[in-house]
Amino acid sequence: MNFRMLRKDLRRKKSINLILLVFIFLSTMFIAGSLNNFAVIMNGVENFMDQAGVKDFLIVTMGEGSGELSENDRAIEEFLENQEQVKDFTVDDSLFLSENQVKMKNGKKVFMDSTGVLNSFPMKQQKFFDKGNQEITSVERGAIYLSQRMVEENKLETGDVVVIWSENGYEKEFQVAGELKDAFLGSDMMGIQRCIINEEDFVEMMEQGSLPYGRMYSISCKDSKAFQAEYNNQDFHEMFGADRELVKTTYVMELVIAAVILAVSLCLIIIAVIMLRFTIVFTVNEDYKEIGIMKAIGMPDASIRRLYMIKYFVLAAVGAFCGFAASIPFSRVLLLQVTEKIVIEGGSRGIFLQLLVSICIVGLIVLFGYRSTGKIRKFSPMDAIRSGNNGERFQKKTVFQLKNARVKTTTFLACNDVLSELKKYLVLLFTSIIGVWLVVMPINTINTLNSDGLTAWFALTDCDFYLTDEERVIELMAEGTKEAWYDFLKETGEGLEEAGIPVEKVCTEVFFKLRVRKGEKSYKSFTVQGLGTETKEYFYDMGEPPIYENEVAITHVVSEKIDAKLGDTVFITSGNQEKPYVVTAIYQSMNNMGEGVRFTESADLDYREVGGGFGTQVVLAREQDREKLSDIMEQAEELFPGSKVQTPGEFVNHMIGNIAGRLGPLKALTVAVVLAINVLVVVLMQKMFLIRERGEIGMLKSIGFSNRSLIGWQAKRVMLVLFFGIVIGTLTGAPFSQLTSGQVFQMMGASKIEFVINPLEIYVVYPAALFVVTVLACIIAMRRVKRVSVQEMNHME
C-alpha cells in the first residue's frame, strides 16, 4: 500500500518532486565536487612534494669550471657529513645554461627568462612527472624534457628539436620529449628552471666542459629548523639554499588560483545547503494537505511519517547518486586550472571522498525531512490541512498600503510580497550576494596583478619600461664589480640617447643573498642595492629611508625573523666581513616571500656575491615621449636585440608567472558558473513559487490581470531581491577579495593590500550582466503563468 501511494505521489506531483530531485542533484554535485577540490588543493603542494620525494633542505651551487669540485662545494659536503642534524643527503651534478645557449634547430632563440639547469635522468634528488601527471621513468638518448615555462613561452611541442650550444663551438641536438612537472624548481617564482636529459648525454656534455658546472644537494634532516639555523651561520655561496617549506611557498601564485577555486567551492557549498533546506521545507509544506487528510482518516503519525521518509530517501538516493556521478567531471574541470604546474592527487581517494559526501547528503536530506515532518505529531488534521498554519497570526502581514502607493500595482505587489515574506527570498538574496563576490574577487585580483602599481608591492621604483638581458646580467655577475654594473647602465643610457630617446634616468637593482644577524638570531636574506636610484624613491611603511652607507631598511618578514625593530643595529656579512647597519625603515615586499633588506647606493658590498639583477629601469626625460611609449619600446627592442622590453606591469606579471593571464580563463569559468547558478536558483525557485501561488495567479487572472502583468509582478519580485543582493554583494566584494586572494598576497609578504578596482567593471558591467541574465531567465521561466487557468484558484490556501 505504502509503495503504491509513493508511486502515485511521485507521478502526480511530478513538478515539485522533479524540482526537489534537481536541487538534490545540483547540491550533491556542488558539495561533493567542491569538498574534493578543497581537500586536494589544501594538501596539493605537500602531496606533490611527497610524490616527487623532495627532501627537507635543498642547496644549489654553481661553480666556475667544469666537472671539478670547487672549494665551496667541498666545504658544503664536509659540513653535511659532519652535521649532526643531517640524517642523509644526496648530490647530483648540474650544468648551467644561459638563455642564449638554447635555440631551435632553425636558429631561433628559445626564451628562458631565468637561469637554466641541466640534470641527468634519473636524479637522486627527486622524481619527475609529465604533463599528464605520469611519472617519468626513462629518458631516451637524444631526448630532453623541458621546463613547463620553456614549453609554454616558446610554444614548443613534443618532437621539436632544440640545440644546446656553447661558445667553444660545441653543439648538441635534442628532441623535445615533453614538459616537466618539477616539484623543486617548477614554480614560476623560482629563479632557476630545469631540463633533464639521458645520463649518457649528460656525461658527454660534462666531459666537453664548456658549460658551468654546479651541484644540487638534497638533505634529510632530523630537525630542519635546527639544521637551517646551523647552515645560516656558515658562509657558503649558493644559488639556492632553503628548506622544503620555502620551496612550497614558491607555489604561492598557484594558491591565488587555488584561492579562487576554493572560494568558488566554498560558496557553492553554502548555496547548495541553503537551497537544499529551502526546497525540503517547501516540499514538506506542500505535503501538509495530504498529511492532514491521512490524519483525518485515522492513519497513525508513524505510518504517515514513514511514508514521507521513504519518499525523501528515494528522491535523495537517486539525486545524490546522479550528483555524485556529475561531481567527478565537475571537480576535474575546476582542478584543471591548478594542475598546470603541480601533480594533483585525484584517483580513488578523491572519488571515495565524493562518494562519502554524497552519502552524507542523503543522510542530511533524510534528516531535514525527518525534522520537517516531525511537526505532524503536534498537529490536528485541521492544522495540517492549513499547511502548518493554525490561522492565528500575531503580526500584520501587510507592510505597505496600496491606496498610499504611487507605483504600478504589479510593482506594489512585488515590493509588498518581498517585504511581507522576506524569508522566502533569502535563498535568492544570498545566492546573488555570493555570486557577485565570486565574480568580483578574480576581477579585482587580475586588475591588481595587471596594474603598474604592482611594482611598488615588489619594492621596485616606478619607471616607464624595463630592459631585461639575462645574458648580460650573467656576464656582469662574472665580472663581480660595482663599476661594471655602472658602466652597463651608462652604456644603456647613451645607447638610448643616441637613438633620440632622451632619458632622465637608467637604473637597476642588484640582489644578494646575505646573512643578517641581530644578537643570536641570524637569517640569510634576500638583499637589494639600487644603482642609479635613491632609497627615498621607494615606499616604506615605517621610519625614514636609509641615507648613509651604514643604514638599511628591512621588510616586516626580516624584522620578525631576527626580531629587529626601527633603530636597532643589525650585522650583515658581505665578502666574509660582518658590518653593523642601523635599521631606519621597515617596508613590505612580495619579493622572495616578503624577505628583503635595502642598502643605500653607497653601501660597500662585495659584488662577487651578486645573485642577479632586476631588469634595467628606464625613466624617460620628456613627457611627450610617454604618450608614444609603445613606439619607444619598439625602438628600444630594435636597439637592444638581446633584451626583453616590458612595461612595469608586464615585468612584474612575468616575474610572477603571468598569473593574471592564467586567472583570465578562471574568471570566465567563475562568471559562467555564477550565471548558471543564479539562473538555476531563480528558475527553480520561480517554478516552486508557481506551484504554490497558482491559486493567487488564478485569482488575479479572474479579476483581469493579464499574463504580462502577472509575469511583471513575478519578475519584479526577483528584480527587487536581485537588486539588493547585487548591491550588497558589490559593496562587500572588496572585503571578500581581501579575505580570499588578499591572504595569498599576504603570504607573499605584502602586509597591506589595496586592490585595484575598475569601477566600470565592478560596479556596472558585471553586476548589470548578472542582473539582466537572471531576470531574463526568470521572465522565460514565468511564461508558464500562461498555462495557469482561473480554476487553479481552488488551490489557494
What residues line the site for another protein (CB under 8 A)?
A: 391, 393, 396-399, 401-403, 409-410, 412-413, 416-417, 420-421, 695-696, 698-709, 786, 789-791, 793-794, 796
Task: Give the DSSP per-residue string, 80-91.
Answer: HHH-TTEEEEEE
Q: Which is nearer to another protein, 414 or 449 (CB)?
A: 414
Residue type, 373: T
Alpha carbons within 13 angstroms on the beta-carbon side of residue 417 total: 20
Name the minimum Å distance from CB 703 to another protein: 5
Give start and end residues of each alpha helix (H) in 337-408: 347-374, 381-385
Gap between the Cα atoms of 85 and 97, Å rounded: 33
Grid-cell match 479579476, residue found: 703
Sequence-distant (≥ 6) Cβ neighbours of residue 222 within 8 angstroms: 84, 85, 86, 87
Name the minimum Å distance from CB 700 to another protein: 8
Q: Which is nearer to another protein, 232 or 416 (CB)?
A: 416
Gap between the Cα atoms of 417 and 394, Å rounded: 18
Q: Which is nearer to another protein, 416 or 533 (CB)?
A: 416
- Comparing CA positions, the residue from 302, 316, 311 lying closest to residue 284 is 311
Name the minimum Å distance from CB 778 to another protein: 20
> 175: which strand partners?
143, 161
Name the minimum Å distance from CB 725 to another protein: 21
Q: How crowded is residue 789: how many other Cβ atoms within 10 Å of its Cβ? A: 12
Name the minimum Å distance from CB 17 to another protein: 21
Packing angle of the helix pair 707-739, 694-702 (nearest 10 deg)? 140
Q: How crowded is residue 774: how many other Cβ atoms within 10 Å of its Cβ? A: 29
Q: Which is nearer to another protein, 402 or 731 (CB)?
A: 402
Name the minimum Å distance from CB 414 to another protein: 11
Name the minimum Å distance from CB 12 to another protein: 14
Name the minimum Å distance from CB 784 to another protein: 14
Name the minimum Å distance from CB 674 to another protein: 31
Give start and end residues of each alpha helix (H) in 174-223: 199-208
User: How far are the Cα atoms of 130, 134, 174 from residue 159, in angstroms, in the given order?
Assistant: 15, 18, 9
Grid-cell match 586550472, residue found: 337
Q: Which is nearer to another protein, 87 or 787 (CB)?
A: 787
Name the minimum Å distance from CB 293 to another protein: 18
Give every strand in the sheet of 213-221, ordered side by side.
Answer: 102-104, 161-165, 171-180, 143-147, 192-198, 115-121, 86-97, 213-221, 57-62, 240-243
Q: Which is nearer to another protein, 302 or 703 (CB)?
A: 703
Instruction: Please give the span between the terminal C-alpha atoms of the chain, in angstroms, as a whole number.
Output: 29
Q: Are 21 and 13 in contact (CB under 8 A)?
A: no
Q: Are 190 and 253 in contact (CB under 8 A)?
A: no
Q: Which is nearer to another protein, 103 or 795 (CB)?
A: 795
Q: Which is nearer to another protein, 297 or 703 (CB)?
A: 703
Gap between the Cα atoms of 258 and 38, Å rounded: 9
Q: Which is nearer to another protein, 203 or 796 (CB)?
A: 796
Name the minimum Å distance from CB 8 to another protein: 15
- Comparing CA positions, the residue from 477, 411, 606 lying closest to residue 191 is 477
Q: Which is nearer to another protein, 137 or 702 (CB)?
A: 702
Q: Which is nearer to another protein, 270 or 699 (CB)?
A: 699
